[in-house]
Amino acid sequence: MKNLILRASRRTYDIGLGLLIVRVAVGLIFFVHGWDKVHSIDNTVRMMQTLGLGGAPMAYFIAWLEVLGGLALIFGVATRVLGVVFGIEMAVAVLKIGNTFGFHGYEFPLLLSALSFALAFAGSGKFSLYPLECPRCGGMFCEGGNSCAA
């Protein structure tokens, strides 16, 4: 039984596939939420004003960031950069929501923040359209030659 588990676990070990699944799930969530914000922009503006986040300019910025950034995450474009941006966005959401609704009010933004920061550290993975990180050293825009730290 131990050998069966060992062989099966070795065959199914694929960090790139795991990153693809997380990227697509997180990207899809941001895309759908952004799409909703774009199509109900008046409500989004009111929400930003209520939270003290600047109203219309911030509402448009966040809505389109989530639409375009969500698509970029799905395809693995600028994953590390968007991971930081989305991680900060969701951390602000957690702080702004606070204990208003208890843990159930901020558990989802907290999870999205953690997953976004995890993608910022892990990168796009091998199944990505245009990764900005070097597959050997993880450096952004590393060309892999003599300047590669790996």
- Is a pLDDT exceeding 90 seen at residue 12? no
Q: What is the pTM of this model?
A: 0.89
Model pLDDT for residues 16-30, shown as the tens digit of each residue: 999 999 999 999 999
Vertex 18 angle, CA 12 and 22, to 5° = 155
- Is a pLDDT exceeding 70 seen at residue 150? no
The share of the chain scoring above pLDDT 70, in percent, equals 97
Model pLDDT for residues 60-97, shown as the tens digit of each residue: 999 999 999 999 999 999 999 999 999 999 999 999 88
Model pLDDT for residues 86-130, shown as the tens digit of each residue: 999 999 999 988 777 777 778 999 999 999 999 999 999 999 988
Whether residue 72 contacts residue 78, with contact meaning beta carbons closer than 8 Å, is answered with yes
CA distances from 59 to 31, 132, 147 (A): 15, 28, 41
